[in-house]
Structures are given as C-alpha cells and as structure tokens.
A = this chain, B = another copy of it.
C-alpha cells in the first residue's frame, strides 16, 4: 500500500484512491490482460466502484508511463497487458482466449525494412481454433 504509493509517485502519478486500487489489482505479481470493461467488473467484485472514465484515464496514464502494453487483437476492444517484457500471444477471438508466449521467438526471413523506416516492434499473434 505504501509500496504502491511510492510506486505511483516514482512514475510521476499522484497516488489517488482510485489509482492505488487499480495499481493494487493490476500489479499484484501475476500477469494480466484487461479491458476497461473487464477491469471495471473485477474491481466491482472487490467492492471498488470506480467510474469508467477514471478507468480509461488510469489505463492510459499507466500505458503512457510504460507500466502497461496495449494490444490490438480485435477491432472492438483494447486490451492492456501488465506484462511489459517483449513477448507474444496465443489468441482466440471467439473464445476470449489470450495467453502470453514468453519463450523467445525468432522471426526469420523478413525482407529488408522499407526505406527511411525503422522497426519498432515485431508482434506475433498465434490465432487459435478450438
């Protein structure tokens, strides 16, 4: 709790009640993938009612400070990922199935990068079926 406050301060974020609750949930040591909606639901289960606007604000604040990654897997919701290491995903849209691939993956045979551009990140999504 004081660790969380320090953690927030060290990221130039005021430790408000809401941010403390959200950070406490997100950064509890287990990797998580959340959407604004799923986060709201989880917090509500724990009797922490925080407005959706604040949940969106906070996810973005954390993202902008590098505490979360953003995943675009489906067109109709954004996932935030507490695992900020370089990693990839198994994903099944139909089944809402999303898990990390933390093993080192190598992508071979890439053509040369287009002129005047530079690779920012290589993202591998392994789409699964039942």
Chain A interface (Cβ < 8 Å from any Cβ of B)? 72-78, 90, 92, 97, 99, 101, 103-111, 113-114, 116-130
Contact = CB atoms under 8 A, between A and B. Distances in A.
A111 B106 CA distance: 12
A42 to B, nearest CB: 21
Given A75-B77, A109-B104, A123 B120 contact: no
A10 to B, nearest CB: 27
Contacts of A114: 90, 97, 99, 128
B117 A110 contact: no
Given A117-B129, A121-B127, A105 B108 contact: yes
A103 B112 CA distance: 10
